[in-house]
Amino acid sequence: MDIKTTSDLQAAIALLEVDVSVKKRILTDQYHSTSESLKPVNVIKSAFQKMVDSGGLADKIIGTSVGFGAGVLSKNILIGKSTNIFKRLLGTVIELAVTNVVSKNSEGIKEKGLNLLRRFTNNNHEKN
C-alpha cells in the first residue's frame, strides 16, 4: 500500500488493527480448542477412540479381557475357595486353559465388546 497522505495512513492503521483483531481471535479460539483437547478426560477418550478405530489392539485387549474373565469365573465356579493345594493348582490350570481358549476363539464376544466400546466413545463425542 502506497501511503502519501494522512488519510492513507489512518486507513492503513485501521486495516492493520482489524488484521490484529482477527488474528487475536483465531489465536484465542485455537488456544481454547487445544486446552480442551489436552484435558485428561479428553486425552483418554481420544486414546480409546483411536484404539477402537484401529481395531487390532482393541481386538486383542477385549479378547484377552474376556478370556481372563471367563477363566477366573470358571475357576471360581468349579473350585471355589478351597484350601486344598491340589484343588487350587487344578483351578489355576483350568483358569489358564479357559482363558486361552476363550481369548483365541471368541470372535462373537470380541465383536460385541468392540460394538459396546464404539457406542461408549460415540456417545461421549456426541455429548461434546
Residues 28, 78 within the same domain: no
As for how many domains the chain has, the answer is: 2
Residues 18, 81 within the same domain: no
Residues 116, 53 within the same domain: yes
How many Cα atoms occupy the beta-carbon half-sphere of 15 within 13 Å? Answer: 8
Identify the residue whose cell numbers are 477402537: 52
Dihedral pair phi/psi, residue 33, rounded to 5°: -65, -45
Q: Residue 31 above 90 pLDDT?
A: yes
Residues 46, 34 within the same domain: no
- The parent domain of residue 76 ranges over 42-127
Least confident of 21-25, 56-60, 65-69, 79-83: 56-60
Residues 18, 67 within the same domain: no
Residues 71, 118 within the same domain: yes
Residues 17, 65 within the same domain: no
Q: Residue 123 above 90 pLDDT?
A: no
Residues 86, 116 within the same domain: yes
Most confident of 17-31, 75-89, 96-110: 17-31
Asked if 62 and 110 count as a contact pair (C-beta separation under 8 A), the reply is yes
Residues 23, 82 within the same domain: no
Residues 33, 46 within the same domain: no
Residues 119, 58 within the same domain: yes
Residues 33, 52 within the same domain: no
